[in-house]
Structure 1
Amino acid sequence: MSPISILLVGFAMSTDAFAAAIGKGAAMRRPRLRDALRAGLIFGTIEAITPVLGWLLGRATSQYVEAFDHWIAFILLGALGAHMIVAGLRADPEDAGDDDDNRHHRFWTLAATGLATSIDAAAVGVSLAFFDVHIGMVALVIGVCTLVMVTLGIMLGRALGALVGKRAEIAGGVILIIVGASILHEHLTGAA
């Protein structure tokens, strides 16, 4: 997997967290940089751990699926990408305006939201287990991209609201589909 592909995966994995952060930032009265960095660190840490867990699961089963692993990666990434696109096109039911900053910014609330937005990263980790990639580097890139995107999302949330959030999720879905298709293409054509 090329460095550009790893960066694209990192960006794609951070877009749903970015969308959630914009929502959180919009719900907060006046988000401060310290609060945004804290949220980014929580989301980024969780988002970096989940692909490693998925990778470990994938490695445990890789010997049984080696002949068709590229198809698994293509299907998983394609399905995740399609799901992100559909979620980005759907109206957000969480638009009930709750202005309680403490409720929206508590550690456990942020951690639960971070976990919910990182399930797709675990699936990406499973698909990457079938290839010669350094999962630590991929996890680090995903975590750093998420930290940056969530911090920006919280700070921009007040001004941008839902306008950008859904579009970011759609873009992330398209990127995942492209990465999955490129993995399949590389395997079928023998390209490195």
Structure 2
Amino acid sequence: MTIFELWILAAGLAMDSFAISVSGGILLKRPQWRIIFRSAALFGFFQMLMPVIGWAASLWLSEMIDNIDHWIALVLLAFIGVRMIYENFRASPEKRQAIDFTRTRLLMLAIATSIDALAVGVSLAFFDTDSIVALIIPVTIIGLVSFVLSIAGYVCGLYFGGLKKFRPELAGGLILIGIGMKICVRHVQAFL
């Protein structure tokens, strides 16, 4: 796999993190750089970690994860998305301004968006990546791209969140559910 192909792969893997970061930026309302960098670092870390786990587990994990990875992502993203939509309709306008960016919520999002990277790690085992040292460049590129695109997503979301009469929790929840459904449909289509 060439470096160019790795950058393209990394960008593809980071798209879910980018979309979730857009919804996170919408919910923030104003720049909170500590949250933005913490989230981006967590997304980047899991995008780096999952290929290493997938590579280490190789074929055994590939067969097991291929059958359920899309369902895990759908359940995690749908759970968070439905909860955000519920909070949108339940909360008063004052409470809607605040969203808790708890470590648990960010961890769930980071895991959900990096499940595809697990399968990528398995495929890296077949591209002359026969040692852990050979994984350093691919996983670094994947993590870096995810980190940068997550920050860009938050910045885009901050812009959209500033628009008048915008329901951020509703939009964010729908985005998360949509991403989960996209992952699920993509895997079901590949199976057929």
Interval containing the TM-score (normalised by the shorter chain): 0.5 to 0.7
Equivalences for 1:107-118 in 2 at 5 Å? 107-118=103-114
Shift of 1:106: 1.8
**Structure 2 match to 1:51:** 51
**In 2, Cα distance between the equivalents of 1:31 and 1:95?**
22
Shift of 1:142: 0.9
Indicate whether 1:34 and 2:34 are aligned. Answer: yes
Give the stretch that moved more between structures: 11-20 or 149-158. 149-158
**In 2, Cα distance between the equivalents of 1:99 and 1:120?**
32
**Structure 2 match to 1:183:** none
Indicate whether 1:123 and 2:119 are aligned. Answer: yes
- State the identity as a percent: 27
Shift of 1:61: 5.2
Coordinate RMSD, CA, aligned: 3.5
Indicate whether 1:21 and 2:21 are aligned. Answer: yes
Aligned 8 A contact 1:21 1:154 in 2: yes
Letter in 2 for 1:116: A
Shift of 1:160: 3.5
Task: Normalising by structure 2, report the TM-score.
Answer: 0.63
Gaps of 5+ in 2: 89-95, 162-170, 187-192
Indicate whether 1:150 and 2:150 are aligned. Answer: yes
**In 2, Cα distance between the equivalents of 1:95 and 1:23?**
12
Tell me the SS of whatever aligns to 1:24: helix
Gaps of 5+ in 1: 63-71, 177-192
**Structure 2 match to 1:66:** none
Change (3 A) 1:26 1:51: same
Residue 106 of structure 1 is aligned with which of 98, 102, 107? 102
Deviations along 1:5-50, one digit per CA (max 9) or x if unpaired, are: 0001111111101101111111122132332112111111111101
Task: Normalising by structure 1, report the TM-score.
Answer: 0.63
- How many residues of Structure 1 are paired with residues of Structure 2 in the alignment? 148
Shift of 1:120: 0.6
